[in-house]
């Protein structure tokens, strides 16, 4: 991206496409378009159901609040009572996100909205709401109709562990499975086994009432037995599949004894009278109203309105988030080569088929290639959807969408380094969760582009240069002796302040020891503001080291990176959207126009300054700095010398990368990166 003005335009377009996708899966719109009531008959798409005078409703998930509100409009006085389990803050935020003109008067509604769960983890509130739901459905008779609303997030909002299980043990095991990199289907297989209401449990409790389940899918390929862990879908809950999942992630041996007993046991429910010949509940109809293809279509239409060519890849992207990034980089590279007329359709088909994560049929590939041949000056946007997984190895804060954006920025940068012709293309990714929540953060997702790493390293160089000048001023007579070390070349190495403190074996005199003790006492007497002022540059270096992308990904700290880098302008914060159809991924690609006569008022994207970023000092950083400094007092080379480093720009390839990114004139040849050897 050559200038910030162009980047702002791309981000604005991608955000509009993302919001249009979310609007397309608005639960209110879906119910209004697909559910009708005529006399005694309820029509749901191509299905029709006779209903009595008394209709009851229960719901659980991120999208069910608006579904319930619109259904009450349709059912009117037939709706006797409804209990809806929704995430925390839903009742406040939903009124600001969606159009509310047709919402019912909340004082006269038959619906009870009960909030629970934080960050998709069950709590006592969701447990209490589930008790209320069970009491309601168990009271129903054969003449009653029960409408069950189900969407993503429902597993945490309909929560009733087996009686012999400790609730905390169950939550801990599910969390361990998630953090090990398991996908949602694997996690829900475990949840289903350990629950009284999942895996058909709710339908069993509601018998003999007639059940109509209306579902918005948040799982790849729409498996109704796993969406919200399948509370209205019969499942034998065989122990073999649960054991296989736990063994896959090396967790089975460490499972608590009471959990292991349930996991390895065979179910004793006598469901035969309730099942038909296909082993489905006779009294239940499960209908999927929408999935992520609905959102993708909304995104496609918005891209066309903006005259950007949409290329839909697939809606079932899954796998480790870094593998997904590499797959997207592979496809993006091929698209750029095709746009550059250097890749034939035969080579395009052969090359794109090498990806395991993005697997496209030959006809689909031909369709994509034909679209590429007709791309206009506004570029293309690749559209994918699904739910990658993250293996949590660090203690930071972030989400899979932010990690995908950051991984892609690094992986695409590496691809540009290997083929500088690619620097002639503007490439920006946006990855976002349709529920408006990416992990335990307030962001829906983030943008990513290849200038991230060069800009962070430039910040580090600025600060280290400043520190060198400070030391030179303070130790003017010894300035020539300051170390001139180099940051290691390995781009995956973690650059932490502690790496700069090399132990030095030495014996101190009593006078030196007393002096050090006095200096330590002086440090302890400084309050936090005085300490920050005294060591501001060193502390800022530590904060920048925290946002080096490789460090961020190791610590799973992507939210800290995006909040600080460019003061958060690469985050999108929609708030709670009231829907959920997994994640959406958009990759914008456009061959850059000749910049020979670039408007001097347009700010060069890769030129950065400290003021462009949020480099505030965390208290934890101050404490860590104190600890490191005190350790180093007992060395002859004090910290002032130890942290001073000179970055070899060419060794990190940053200079070459920057020149390719910021100087993409169509008349200039691309420069190959130069790597120095020792």
- 34-67 per-position pLDDT tens digit: 999 999 999 999 999 999 889 999 999 999 999 9
Give residue-wise pLDDT tens across range 431-454. Answer: 999 999 999 999 999 999 999 999
Predicted pLDDT at 524: 63
What's the distance, CA 395 to chain centroid?
Answer: 16
Burial class (CB in 10 A: 0-12, 13-18, 19+), 246: buried
Write the DSSP string, 565-593: GGGGTTEE-----S----EEEEEEEEEPP
Does the pLDDT of residue 660 top 50, yes or no?
no
- Quote the CA–CA distance of 170 and 12 in Å, as a whole number: 42
Give residue-wise pLDDT tens across range 93-114. Answer: 655 555 555 554 555 689 999 9
Give residue-wise pLDDT tens across range 612-657. Answer: 999 999 999 988 888 887 665 444 443 344 333 333 433 333 333 4
Strands (E) in 567-677, as ranges, are 571-572, 583-591
Give 551's strand partners: none
Place of tokens 């008779």: 141
Burial class (CB in 10 A: 0-12, 13-18, 19+), 633: middle
- Which pLDDT band holds residue 512 (cuts at 50, 70, 90)? low
Tell me the H-state helices in 419-557. 452-474, 510-525, 528-534, 536-546, 549-554
Element (H or E) spanning 86, and its range? Answer: strand 79-87
Instruction: Collect all residues with Cβ–Cβ distance below 8 Å to 655 and sequence separation of at least 6.
Output: 649
Give residue-wise pLDDT tens across range 180-224. Answer: 999 999 999 999 999 999 999 999 999 999 999 999 999 999 999
Predicted pLDDT at 637: 41
Lowest mean pLDDT, pick from 137-146, 354-363, 513-522, 563-572: 513-522
What's the distance, CA 202 to chain centroid?
Answer: 31
User: Which 3 state secondary structure label does DSSP give 284?
Assistant: strand
Give residue-wise pLDDT tens across range 185-197. Answer: 999 999 999 999 9
- Which pLDDT band holds residue 479 (cuts at 50, 70, 90)? very low
Predicted pLDDT at 468: 87
- Which pLDDT band holds residue 498 (cuts at 50, 70, 90)? very low
Give 426's strand partners: 590
What's the distance, CA 78 to chain centroid?
Answer: 41
Q: Please, what's the b/e burial string for 573-602 (b: 16 or more CB within 10 A of its CB; e: otherwise)?
A: ebebbbbbbbbbbbbbbbebeebeebeeee
Task: For residues 567-577, give the mean pLDDT.
Answer: 96
Whole-number CA gyration radius for the chain: 29
Predicted pLDDT at 646: 38
Predicted pLDDT at 232: 98
- Quote the CA–CA distance of 63 and 26 in Å, as a whole number: 8
Using DSSP bridges, classify how beta strands 47-50 and 41-44 pair: parallel, antiparallel or unpaired.
antiparallel
Contact yes or no for 172/258 (Cβ under 8 A): no
Does the pLDDT of residue 601 top 80, yes or no?
no
> For residues 602 and 364, which has the higher predicted lDDT (pLDDT)?
364
Does the pLDDT of residue 312 top 50, yes or no?
yes
The fraction of the chain above a pLDDT of 70, given in percent, is 80
**What domains does the chain contain, in order, with CATH numbers?**
1-34+291-464+565-595 (3.40.1480.10), 39-160+196-235+271-290 (3.40.50.10180), 163-194+237-270 (no CATH)
Predicted pLDDT at 593: 74
> For residues 476 and 229, which has the higher predicted lDDT (pLDDT)?
229
Give residue-wise pLDDT tens across range 273-308. Answer: 999 999 999 999 999 999 999 999 999 999 999 999
393: tokens are 């190895």
Distances (CA, A) of 259 to 85, 161, 242: 26, 10, 12
Predicted pLDDT at 89: 76
Predicted pLDDT at 124: 94
| pTM strictly above 0.85 | yes
Q: Cα torsion at 399, 405, 407, 411 (round to 10°)?
A: 170
């Amino acid at each position: 991206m050559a200038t910030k003005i162009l980047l702002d335009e791309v981000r604005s377009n991608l955000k509009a496409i993302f919001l249009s996708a979310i609007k397309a899966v608005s639960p209110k719109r879906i119910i209004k378009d697909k559910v009708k009531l005529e006399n005694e008959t309820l029509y749901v798409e191509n299905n029709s159901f006779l209903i009595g005078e008394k209709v009851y409703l229960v719901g659980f998930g991120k999208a069910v609040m608006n579904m319930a509100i619109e259904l009450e409009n349709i059912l009117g006085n037939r709706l006797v009572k409804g209990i809806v389990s929704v995430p925390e803050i839903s009742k406040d935020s939903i009124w600001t996100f969606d159009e509310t003109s047709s919402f019912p008067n909340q004082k006269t509604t038959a619906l009870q909205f009960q909030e629970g769960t934080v960050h998709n983890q069950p709590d006592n509130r969701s447990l209490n709401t589930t008790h209320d739901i069970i009491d309601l459905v168990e009271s129903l008779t054969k003449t009653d109709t029960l409408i069950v609303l189900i969407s993503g997030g429902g597993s945490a909002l309909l929560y009733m562990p087996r009686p012999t299980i400790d609730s905390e043990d169950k939550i801990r095991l599910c969390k361990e499975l998630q953090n090990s990199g398991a996908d949602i289907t694997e996690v829900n297989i475990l949840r289903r086994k350990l629950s009284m209401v999942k895996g058909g449990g709710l339908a069993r409790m509601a018998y003999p009432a007639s059940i109509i389940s209306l579902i918005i899918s948040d799982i790849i390929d729409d498996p109704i037995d796993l969406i919200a862990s399948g509370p209205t879908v019969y499942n034998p809950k065989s122990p073999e599949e649960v054991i296989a999942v736990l063994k896959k992630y090396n967790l089975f041996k460490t499972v608590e004894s009471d959990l292991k007993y349930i996991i390895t046991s065979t179910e004793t429910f006598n469901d035969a009278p309730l099942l038909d010949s296909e082993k489905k509940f006779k009294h239940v109809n499960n209908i999927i109203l929408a999935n992520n293809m609905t959102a993708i279509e909304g995104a496609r239409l918005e891209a066309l309105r903006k005259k950007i060519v949409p290329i839909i890849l697939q809606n079932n992207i899954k796998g480790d988030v870094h593998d997904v990034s590499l797959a997207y980089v592979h496809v993006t590279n091929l698209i750029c080569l095709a746009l550059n007329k250097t890749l034939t359709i035969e080579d395009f088909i052969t090359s794109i088929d090498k990806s395991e994560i993005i697997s496209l049929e030959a006809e689909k590939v031909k369709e994509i290639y034909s679209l590429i041949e007709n791309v206009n000056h506004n570029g293309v946007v690749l559209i994918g959807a699904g739910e990658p997984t993250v293996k949590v190895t660090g203690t930071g804060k972030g989400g899979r969408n932010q990690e995908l954006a950051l991984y892609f920025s690094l992986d695409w940068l590496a691809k540009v380094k290997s083929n500088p012709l690619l620097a002639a293309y503007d490439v920006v990714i946006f990855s976002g969760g349709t529920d408006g929540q990416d992990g335990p953060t307030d962001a829906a997702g983030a943008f990513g582009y290849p200038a991230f790493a060069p800009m962070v390293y430039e910040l580090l160089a600025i600060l280290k240069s400043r520190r060198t000048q400070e030391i030179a001023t303070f130790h003017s007579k010894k300035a020539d002796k300051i170390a001139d070390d180099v940051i290691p070349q390995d781009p995956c190495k973690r650059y932490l302040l502690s790496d700069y403190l090399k132990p030095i074996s030495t014996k101190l005199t009593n006078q030196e020891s007393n002096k050090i003790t006095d200096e330590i006492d002086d440090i302890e007497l400084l309050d936090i503001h005085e300490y920050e002022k005294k060591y501001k540059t060193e502390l800022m270096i530590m904060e920048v080291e925290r946002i080096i992308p490789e460090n961020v990904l190791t610590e799973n700290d992507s939210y800290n990176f995006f909040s600080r880098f460019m003061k958060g302008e690469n985050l999108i914060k929609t708030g709670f959207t009231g829907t959920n159809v997994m994640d959406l991924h958009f990759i914008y690609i456009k061959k850059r126009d000749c910049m020979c006569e670039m408007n001097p008022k347009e700010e060069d994207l890769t030129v950065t300054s400290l003021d462009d970023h949020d480099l505030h000092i965390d208290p934890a950083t101050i404490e860590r700095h104190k600890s490191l400094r005190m350790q180093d007092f007992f060395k002859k080379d004090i910290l002032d010398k130890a942290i001073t480093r000179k970055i070899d720009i060419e060794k990190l390839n940053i200079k070459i990368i920057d020149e390719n990114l910021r100087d993409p004139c169509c008349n200039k040849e691309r420069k190959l990166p130069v790597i120095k050897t020792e």
